[in-house]
Amino acid sequence: MVCLQLLSVYRFRVATVVGFSALVGVYILVSSISLESPNPNPNTHPNPRSQLTTPTGACQCPSGSVMLKDYIPTDQYEDVVQRRAQEIKKYKIRNQSLLTKRLYAKANSPLQYPTEGYTVRPMTWTLIPGLGLYAGERSSYKVSLSVSKGVLNTNASDKEANVTGGGTKTLTIESTSLTTVNLMLSSLSYTSSIFHVNTGDLASFRFEDHEAVFPIAIKELQPPILTDVGKDINSKVTITIKTFMHYDKLMKLLDSIRQFYPEIPIIIADDSLERETIEGKNIDQYFMQPEKGWFAGRNLAVSQVTTKYFLWLDDDYLFSPETKIEKFLEVMEANVQLDVVGGLVQGMQFAFSFHYEEGDELGGGCLQQSTGSTSFGFVPGYPHCTIVSGVTNFFLARTDAIHKVGFDPELQREGQQEFFIDGLGSLMVASCKDPKSMQILHQSQTGETRESKQFRYTPQHGHGHRYPLYHFKNNMKCMRFQ
């Protein structure tokens, strides 16, 4: 089932002027990843996003949800909620702008203006394209423009026009000639009054009883950050592994990797209690403080990657003839908007999808996770790959995209969906079911040391210890797992 909410917004934008940043997000998603319905019968695997969402206010927790406040000590709850409310306000100040405001175009307006795509550098004069007035005959024509974060000016001069407010937030043009008014509008420019690398303004364009509001994106130019992928797999992909007291399994994994990829670089983050040095060509082993934790190790490993992509592995996996990194690369390079592509583990597909409602500041949001066949559509050209929210610990990822999300060191023992919760709305994720080329094997748990089991299955094992983290860091009210 296609993501109905996104498609409805996309159709709505044809007739409606909406915030620039929201439109860009919808446009990129719809135009670059044209999703096809993986489930022609909507009742087979219901997509959690097929339901109507509430745009503002408190979200409704689905039946069966875990109420996260129940995992906060009663005597601490009020203080935690107040601290969280202060942090969410600061977060919104940093991440929201005027461009998130909904704008509506009134019918039969004689005003022409840019509905989207007008971007200026901070504190730099830039012409406003597309301004125009299309009105019937009048004895006089008067238009005005107003902004809040900058000033307006026009370089044109005409004795038939009266221009006031140049260099201020409101500029007015009046003339008996419509041609003159449009000439003056064509030379009107804007500059922001303050420096900010990524913000926005709203311009109000008025004529008689007509008003149009259009967005101005204020953004500093950003040079591209490119990675030279070279000519072979060894210059394109780094294998990253976090290990803890699994040296026997790790050595089997490394042997299997070298059987198929003798030269590919490997990075190992190791926080074992008793250390063993791993040697080999193109293998870098980084020792951490003992018991530092899984996500801290993932951060360390990924921080040392210099290739465009990295392949994440658990230390008890095994390569086989069906583990072909080139196939992952093919999917990623053919669909450049993808950030993560997961594969099969021992013939099984582990993937999940999220449905998130923001909720209000004090209450928090509501998150529903669905596992199994639920997805948001096929990856173009690869019907065995579907768009999801998260995958298991066997995936190829774009290094720069993962750097922007990171791994929370608070999660020490395990964590599957936590990274993808943090990446929700940022990462495009796909899961591929291709047993001939996108599969890895899993070593048996037999032979695991007692010490390793002791640390793996601690009181922190499971969701309970993570619920307070969801509650504060992700501003969550409730979660439901299906």
pLDDT in tens, 154-172: 988 878 899 999 999 999 9
> What pLDDT shows up at residue 28?
37
Same domain assignment for residues 254 and 215 = no
Mean pLDDT, all residues of the chain: 84
The pLDDT value recorded for residue 14 is 33
Give the burial class of 1: count Cβ atoms within 10 A of its Cβ; 0-12 exposed, 13-18 middle, 19 or more buried.
buried
Do residues 182 and 326 share a domain? no
Quick check: is 432 in a domain?
yes
Clarify whether residues 335 and 378 are in a common domain.
yes
pLDDT at 104: 72
State whether 343 and 477 are in the same domain.
yes
Does the residue 168 lie in any domain?
A: yes
- Please indicate, yes or no, whether residues 371 and 294 belong to a single structural domain of this protein: yes
CB count, 10 Å around CB of 80?
Answer: 15
Rounded average pLDDT over 327-337:
95
200 vs 414, more confident: 200
Considering the domain architecture, whether residues 341 and 364 belong to the same structural domain is answered as yes
138 and 210, same domain (yes or no): yes
Q: Looking at the predicted structure, is the pLDDT value of residue 37 above 50?
A: no
Question: What are the structure tokens assigned to 276, written together?
Answer: 């063993």
Mean pLDDT of 21-39: 40
Of all helices (H) and strands (E), which one includes residue 210? strand 210-219
Q: What is the mean pLDDT of residues 62-74?
A: 89
Give per-residue pLDDT as tens, 38-65: 444 433 444 545 555 545 678 989 888 9
Residue 6 resides in a domain: no
Note the pLDDT of residue 89. 81
295: pLDDT strictly greater than 90: no
d(CA 157, CA 478): 61
Q: What is the distance, to the nearest Å, from the Cα of residue 292 to the centroid of all Cα atoms in its chain?
A: 27
Higher pLDDT pick, 96 / 262:
262
Cross-strand bridge partners of residue 190: 126, 152
- Least confident window among 4-13, 101-110, 197-206, 209-218: 4-13
Tokens 């290739």 identify what position? 307
| Tally of structural domains, the chain | 2
Are 187 and 248 part of one and the same domain?
no
For residue 464, is pLDDT > 80? no
Range of weakest confidence among 18-32, 86-100, 239-253, 439-453: 18-32
Task: Tell which phi-psi region holds residue 349, choosing left (phi > 0), alpha (psi between -120 and 50) or beta.
Answer: beta
CA 53 to CA 359: how far, in whole Å? Answer: 11
**Are residue 351 and residue 463 in the same domain, yes or no?**
yes
What residues make up the domain containing 139? Answer: 109-219
* Domain membership flag for residue 294: yes
For 316-330, the pLDDT digits (tens) are: 999 999 999 999 999
Same domain, 336 and 467: yes
